[in-house]
Amino acid sequence: MTASSGPLSGLLVADFSRVLAGPYATMLLADLGAEVVKVESPAGDDTRSWSPPVRDGVSTYYLGVNRNKRSVVLDLKDDGDRAAAQELARRADVLMENFKPGGLARFGLDYDAVAATNPGIVYASITGFGSGPGGRDLPGYDLIVQAISGLMSLTGSPDGEPFRAGISVFDVMAGLHASIGVLSALHARHDTGRGQHVEVNLLSSALSGLVNQSSAFVAGGVVPHRMGNSHPSLFPYEPLPCSDRDLVVTAGNNGQFRRLVEVLGVPELADDPRFARNEDRTAHRDALRPLLVDRLRTRTAMEWFTDIIAAGVPCGPINTVDGGVAFAEGVGLEPVVHVGEGDAAVPSIRNPIRFSDSQARYDLPPPSLDADGEAIRRWLSEPTPARDEEPR
């Protein structure tokens, strides 16, 4: 096995999570050098069967969040496999799980049981609605949280039905919060020598992630509502139609608005008292919008994009996903990496974090079910290794 590199090299993560939030968090840790052992039931992670689409018969959903990991099948109802899982937890720096609260207690893998033999463990639990009596029994699905949190009430046309976001946005957000929590607890362990239980739930991540919309209610007493693609506090800050397709235009201050209308050939709008300040433009958006659209419809979105960006006003075309990847390539972000080598390499989206003195790793393609099971089970059956030793 090739030794891992990166800023988290040397950390061992026991990954008991499934589907998206937990696997996304552990993939980020693995990218940065942590050794992640993905523990799966005999049936495997649910996302292995979530298709289409597929690549070489494997779900692209699974491929998207499981690189740089090793897979071992452990049936927690089997005495030998359960003992191996407990030994993995005893040796790990981090344990990540997203079972229902208390779900791992019957296997001796809850926080108290693991911390009793491994007091340095950073034990991360991701749930839907927390571990308290009011939320512990509620199923933690992203779509349900999008509904309950209020996000869907904000998404869609003002006179239309509520819509879900195009991705499981709160699963991803909870995964990010979990990874932040893990790294914070590891930092604290340097001072105390002790690990701790890190808890993240989708609803809390959702309410935090609603930022200005949740703040509008808790700080201002205002209940936000659906506005389509419009912004409640800024205008223009939305897609506007050009001759071929929409262009998102975001003039966030008075100087940007003046430059925008100069490029559009209607500089007098900047001095119109209805549009002089942002609050004026927001109040009179119904009058201003058609004046901007009348000019934008005279050219294509990309023609306007070039000129408006050159004037220092943020804007961007509405792309499909392939266009988004191509745009990232065009600006030099190199968004696609190949994980693994040769015919086994899998295209994947680059880890978004860049360091001046470290780099992410892309050496292990998402593993087939139990791909490393024999080596990991053999390693766990041996006497406790030195801290820098790894399963081979």
- Residues 294-311 pLDDT 10s: 999 999 999 999 999 999
DSSP state of 366: P
66-86 pLDDT tens trace:
999 999 999 999 999 999 999
Q: Looking at residues 198-209, what average pLDDT do you find? A: 98
Residue 1 has pLDDT above 70, yes or no: no
The Cα-based distances of 96 to 124, 150, 255 in angstroms read: 5, 28, 48
Residue 3 has pLDDT above 80, yes or no: no
Rounded distance between C-alpha atoms, residue 49 and residue 51, angstroms:
6
Query: Where does the pLDDT of residue 356 fall: very low under 50, low under 70, confident under 90, or very high at 90 and above?
Result: very high
| 358-382 tens-digit pLDDT | 999 999 999 999 999 999 999 999 9
What pLDDT was estimated at residue 208? 98
pLDDT band at 5 (very low <50, low <70, confident <90, very high): confident
pLDDT above 50: residue 228: yes
pLDDT at residue number 385: 58
**The pLDDT of residue 207:** 98
Mean of per-residue pLDDT scores for the chain: 95
Residues catalogued as catalytic: 171
The Cβ of residue 224 has, within 10 Å, a number of other Cβ atoms equal to 17
**Average pLDDT score over residue span 259-268:** 98
Q: What angle do CA 115, 21, 387 make, to 5 degrees?
A: 40
